[in-house]
Amino acid sequence: MMIARVVGNLVATRKNVKLEGSKLLLVQPLGLDGTDRGATVLAIDSVDAGVGDRVLLVQDGKAAQQALGKGTAAVDAAVVGVIDAVETVP
């Protein structure tokens, strides 16, 4: 799992039948200090996150499929939580 920020929505009028009704989000992975880390990722939303939210992102296909409950749908990444606060211990 990693921390990310929702930077946009993606609309696809046609997609895999197992993904119909799923919300697609563009998310930017973040480091613990809040800086961008790597490329923007397309993820399926399972928690009704919105643009600007910090979220928990799963980028393992099997874990993403299980989190979404979509069976063997073609899923690489899923948003599985909205973050309220991040606390690090020195």
Residue 20: what pLDDT?
81
> Using one digit for the tens of pLDDT, what is the confidence trace for 7-48?
999 998 888 787 788 899 999 999 988 999 999 999 989 899
Is residue 61 within 8 Å of 76, Cβ to Cβ?
yes
**For residue 83, which amino acid is it?**
I
Q: Is the pLDDT confidence value at 82 over 90?
A: yes
Instruction: Work out the widest C-alpha separation in the chain, in whole angstroms.
Output: 47
Q: Looking at the domain assignment, is residue 44 inside a domain?
A: yes
Q: Looking at the domain assignment, is residue 34 inside a domain?
A: yes
Q: Looking at the domain assignment, is residue 61 inside a domain?
A: yes
Work out the number of other CB atoms within 10 angstroms of the CB of residue 67: 20
Q: Looking at the domain assignment, is residue 89 inside a domain?
A: no
Residue 80: what pLDDT?
92
Residues paired with 9 in a beta bridge = 25
Number of domains present in the structure of the chain: 1
d(CA 62, CA 73): 10
Q: Looking at the domain assignment, is residue 46 inside a domain?
A: yes
Residue 2: what pLDDT?
93
- Does 64 or 49 have the greater pLDDT score? 49
Q: Looking at the domain assignment, is residue 35 inside a domain?
A: yes
Q: Could you list the residue range(s) of the whole structural domain that residue 65 is in?
A: 2-82
CATH number where 28 lies: 2.40.50.220
Q: Looking at the domain assignment, is residue 6 inside a domain?
A: yes
Q: Looking at the domain assignment, is residue 87 inside a domain?
A: no
